[in-house]
Structure 1
Amino acid sequence: MRKKMLATGLAILTTFAVSADAHDFKAGTIEIKHPWSKVAPPVAPVLGGYVTIVNTGSEPDRLLGGTSVIAERVEIHESKTENGVAKMRPLKDGLVIGPGETVNLEPGGSAHIMFVKPSKRPAAGEKFAGTLMFEKAGAVNVEFAVQAMGEQPQKVEDHQSHQN
């Protein structure tokens, strides 16, 4: 009986621990799942931001950029390899999220969020505020969870939704 109660208690605590870190946001037909960033080195001139964006609507929307309390500006960047050389550049026209499409902005991926000239470098476990700007969904206030180097983000399906 005691083992069963202990197992039940641990299961409940585990559920609360997972859901406490989960943070998703929604505006119109756009779902923003687990915005996060890695801990940055003390002298880094930029920080990377990552997120999964789902467009549940029947029309495309476009992520144009954003703002953050910790950086001079927020840009959407594209990464490509040209002639064997990796290059990164801002997407001047933003990033299109097609109808019914899921776009992953992740480390090593083709696109990510760039926090330019950060004024603060939050530690692992902290969160910082930001706003992502979409062409149709508008401004969406989010929080970026800071994760230690090498730490993997939670699975998208483990997150809870917040209405914006």
Structure 2
Amino acid sequence: MRQILLACTALLALSATAQAHEYQVGSLHIDHPWTRAMPPGAPTGAAYLVVHNRGETADRLLGADTPAADKAEVHEHVHQDGLMKMRQVEGGLAIPAGSAAVLEPGGTHLMLFGLKQPLEDGTRFPLTLHFEKAGDLQVEVAVQKDAPAAASEHQH
């Protein structure tokens, strides 16, 4: 009975780890990179994450790349002339010291152009983030049917 209990505990721990994944480079801590599942043939997608800067120096997310898409760019949603539009963030995204940059649906995000494979629920793909000071960091982006609970809390 004890072995079954230990096995169940280990499976639950692995399950929690699979859902919430974190990365570290320098003073930057990256929480749960994810994207929404997209129908087959969708040409674009978007990746979301939170970058916490636990250091005393500001940094900047310059961009990203992935073998899953032709290109990835930092984009933001803006209200212009009464319409919601999307545009590339020129010069990258500032990550102030002691603060966080939230990439979320309806806000700043990593736009993925020319998807090379379907974004299917339950899969993952590599994404390399390029930071001005901290350098490059490869993360795994979790493809999910719905936004994770933490991301829903950030939405406006």
| Band of TM-score, shorter chain | 0.7 to 0.9
Written as runs of structure 1 = structure 2, the 5 A alignment for 1:1-164 is 13-109=11-107, 111-148=108-145, 151-153=146-148, 155=150
Any idea what the Cα deviations from partners look like across 1:88-112, whole Å, max 9, x if unmatched? 0111211000001112111122x00
Q: Which amino acid aligns with 2:118?
A: R
Over 3 Å counting, the alpha-carbon distance change for 1:155 and 1:7 in structure 2 is: farther
Q: Distance in 2 between matches of 1:154 and 1:86?
A: 24
Q: Which amino acid aligns with 2:21?
A: H
Normalising by the residue count of structure 1, what TM-score does the alignment of the two structures yield? 0.83
Between 1:51-60 and 1:100-109, the stretch displaced more is 100-109
Which structure is higher in RCO with an 8 Å CA cutoff and minimum separation 6?
Answer: 1
Any idea what the Cα deviations from partners look like across 1:83-137, whole Å, max 9, x if unmatched? 220010111211000001112111122x001111111123101000110000001
Normalising by the residue count of structure 2, what TM-score does the alignment of the two structures yield? 0.86
Over 3 Å counting, the alpha-carbon distance change for 1:22 and 1:97 in structure 2 is: same
Runs (5+) with no aligned partner, structure 2: 152-156
- Residue number in structure 1 paired with 2:154: none
| Partner-residue secondary structure (3-state), 2:47 | strand
Q: Which amino acid aligns with 2:88?
A: P
Q: Distance in 2 between matches of 1:122 and 1:55?
A: 29
Count of aligned residue pairs for this structure pair = 151
Instruction: Provide the aligned C-alpha RMSD in A.
Output: 2.2
Q: Which amino acid aligns with 2:143?
A: V
Q: Distance in 1 between matches of 2:42 and 2:120?
A: 14
Runs (5+) with no aligned partner, structure 1: 157-164
Q: Distance in 2 between matches of 1:37 and 1:121?
A: 12
Q: Distance in 2 between matches of 1:10 and 1:155?
A: 25
Q: Distance in 1 between matches of 2:40 and 2:150?
A: 28
- The answer (yes or no) to whether the contact 2:51–2:102 under 8 Å persists in 1 is yes
Over 3 Å counting, the alpha-carbon distance change for 1:127 and 1:20 in structure 2 is: same
